[in-house]
């Protein structure tokens, strides 16, 4: 009888408890196994060696993650100190080198802040209750993706300069190792603190903000803003755009404005320059405070505008494309870095621009010359124009949305590594220099764990007026892979017949052709035929709407959470 009971117990153990025990053991091993943890990083051997250097090799994934972040912060501080040591003695350095080092200083300070904020949050979680709310996790994924981008941007700027080779090698070597380290931190964050991926919705979702139509922007103003607005109306400013909605209850469609100022070159406004108006804006505003509203009246503003991180939730509205124009001509030939060549640069969160032309007039012979650079998280550009040649629009980092904009350029003229959606935009390749070809996009994702990419939906891709008579002699492509994991999608767009039938162009030989992600979905026009497209492993013709829906405003940007507050129209999902 005793043997029979023992046999029954053993059967129960083997049938039920042993598999559970083995499963939990395997999960524990996987959780602690550096081989498994590091496999999805860009340099697994670096990751394993780095994690092996901490005290005790059996730390779980959360301890490994915290250790990696501490090391990332320490290394970033060391690199910043190194950069500043060079900037303290600039007598022997050229202006391009100084510019590159200043870019690195700015970007590294930003990265240090992002890493520190993330570490503060994850250090407060317990191993038993570690997952962050999905929206917070997405915020941190975004800024950690930007940390990796910042390192790469710094490296790009240094590579454009010619200064002491030993110094360049010291900085580049440090950057290379730090980039691997930040990649480990990003990967471990995704594994340990990010909830399972949200469900991708594939059904059409035509959610718009209907109150912004016919050029009217409904405003819900403070008393002070109302007084300034009324004064502006008396002097003829704002009649074409602003629709007084001050008595609005603040329901769907109203735009909360905390203050309003007018920029006018004739002296009838509050300021005569855009930069003066920006300086007057409060620091570190919250979305709930409402927008600091800057109305820029008609005129050509020859200003280099830079909106720093403290100037949050600015809304800048002009009188229309080609009426309110902000213009400059900085470029790399004249010793500016690409990053610092921008006529207009914005970093402050929640920036919104409406009815403005951003222009760089350097011309094709000056190569990289940026009209606008955005590293502003949750930034929106509605009914704007971006004019340049090579590198016109620099979507540098974080989350961005462009709606009903015109974009002109030649080589790589939409580039960067933001998570960005272009919707209902007109894309106009121009006539390049002799011997050049056009590439519309050059997306810069360097790590497969970054949540970045360029999504182009409902666009019109047509030749600009200067290119139209010459389309037979100029090759134009949808894009080329600037970086290893470049990711770009064209969907539900009109593509005219001048686009090369291959669609996409190599960067250099077989570089990135198997690691990139390029896709096309439900496009129309004579240039949409995919039968002769490239056959790269990373190129896809999407037939499943669920796959395409991953790159919509709702899914790729979580745009339903932040775009409505700006009052601009948008499409959440796919078309009907």
> So which residues are the catalytic ones?
412
Residue found under tokens 């002070």: 224
Report which of 284, 326, 330 is spatially closest to residue 309, judged by C-alpha positions. Answer: 284
* Strand 517-521, strand 385-387: pairing: unpaired
Please list the residues that pair with 408 across neighbouring strands. Answer: 387, 428
H-helix or E-strand spanning residue 400: strand 399-403
Whether 450 contacts 485, CB under 8 Å = yes
Whether 351 contacts 314, CB under 8 Å = yes
Residues 6+ apart with CB under 8 A from 79: 108, 174, 175, 178
- DSSP state letters, 514-540: TT-EEEEES-BSTT---TTS---TTEE
- Count CA atoms closer than 13 A to 129's CA, side-chain side: 2
The backbone torsions φ and ψ at residue 37, rounded to the nearest 5 degrees and listed phi first, read: -60, -40
For residue 491, the SS3 value is strand
The 305-307 sheet, strands edge to edge: 305-307, 344-346, 372-374, 393-395, 411-416, 438-443, 476-479
Residues 6+ apart with CB under 8 A from 199: none
**Alpha carbons 401 and 384: distance in angstroms, whole number:** 12
Tokens read off for 381: 């550009």
**Alpha carbons 48 and 68: distance in angstroms, whole number:** 11
Whether 318 contacts 354, CB under 8 Å = yes
The 324-328 sheet, strands edge to edge: 299-301, 324-328, 357-360, 385-387, 406-409, 426-429, 460-461, 494-495
- DSSP state letters, 210-245: TTS-TT-EEEEE-HHHHHHHHHHHHTT-STTTEEE-
């Amino acid at each position: 009888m005793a043997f029979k009971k023992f046999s029954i117990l053993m059967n129960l153990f083997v049938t039920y408890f042993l598999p559970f025990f083995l499963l939990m053991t395997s999960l524990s091993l996987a959780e602690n196994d550096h081989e498994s943890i590091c496999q999805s990083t860009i340099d697994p051997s670096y990751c394993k060696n780095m994690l092996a250097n901490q005290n005790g090799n059996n730390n779980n994934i959360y301890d490994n993650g915290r250790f990696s972040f501490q090391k990332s912060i320490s290394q970033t501080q060391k690199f910043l100190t190194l950069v500043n040591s060079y900037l303290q003695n600039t007598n022997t350095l050229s202006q391009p080198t100084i510019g590159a080092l200043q870019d690195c200083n700015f970007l590294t300070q930003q990265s240090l802040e992002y890493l520190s904020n993330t570490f503060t949050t994850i250090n407060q979680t317990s191993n038993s209750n570690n997952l962050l709310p999905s929206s917070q996790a997405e915020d941190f994924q975004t800024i950690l993706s930007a940390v990796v981008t910042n390192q790469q941007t710094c490296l790009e700027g240094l590579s454009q300069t010619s200064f002491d080779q030993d110094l360049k090698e010291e900085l580049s070597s440090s950057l290379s190792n730090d980039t691997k380290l930040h990649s480990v931190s990003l990967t471990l964050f995704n594994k340990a603190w990010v909830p399972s991926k949200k469900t991708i919705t594939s059904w059409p979702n035509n959610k718009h903000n209907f109150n912004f139509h016919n050029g009217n922007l409904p405003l819900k103003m403070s008393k002070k803003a109302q007084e300034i607005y009324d004064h502006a109306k008396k002097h003829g400013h704002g009649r074409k755009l602003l629709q007084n909605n001050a008595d609005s209850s603040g329901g769907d469609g109203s735009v909360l404005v905390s203050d309003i100022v007018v920029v006018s070159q004739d002296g009838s406004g509050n300021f005569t320059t855009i930069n003066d108006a920006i300086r007057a804006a409060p620091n570190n505003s919250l979305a709930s405070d409402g927008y600091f509203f800057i109305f820029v009246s008609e005129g050509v503003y020859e200003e280099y505008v830079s909106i720093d991180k403290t100037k949050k939730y600015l809304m800048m509205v002009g009188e229309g494309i080609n009426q309110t124009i902000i213009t400059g001509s900085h470029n790399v030939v004249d010793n500016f870095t690409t990053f610092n060549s921008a006529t207009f640069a914005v970093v402050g969160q929640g920036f919104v621009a409406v009815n403005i032309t951003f222009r760089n007039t350097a011309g094709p012979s000056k190569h990289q010359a940026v009209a606008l650079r955005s590293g502003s998280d949750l930034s929106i550009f509605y009914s704007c124009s971006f004019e340049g040649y090579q590198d016109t629009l620099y979507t540098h980092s974080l989350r961005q949305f462009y709606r009903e904009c015109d974009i002109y350029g030649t080589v790589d003229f939409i580039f960067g590594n933001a998570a960005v959606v272009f919707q209902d935009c007109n894309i106009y390749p121009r006539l390049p220099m002799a011997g050049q070809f056009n590439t519309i996009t050059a997306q810069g994702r360097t790590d497969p764990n970054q949540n970045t990419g360029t999504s182009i939906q409902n666009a019109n891709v047509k030749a600009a007026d200067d290119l139209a008579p010459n389309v037979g002699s100029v090759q134009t492509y949808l894009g080329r892979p600037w970086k290893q994991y470049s990711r770009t999608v064209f969907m539900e767009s009109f593509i005219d017949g001048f686009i090369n039938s291959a669609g996409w162009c190599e960067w250099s030989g077989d570089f990135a052709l198997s690691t990139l992600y390029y896709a096309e979905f439900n496009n129309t026009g004579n240039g949409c035929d995919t039968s002769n497209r490239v056959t790269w492993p990373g190129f896809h013709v999407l037939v499943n709407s669920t796959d395409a829906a991953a790159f919509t405003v709702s899914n790729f940007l979580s745009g339903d959470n932040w775009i409505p507050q700006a009052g601009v129209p948008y499409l959440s999902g796919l078309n009907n």
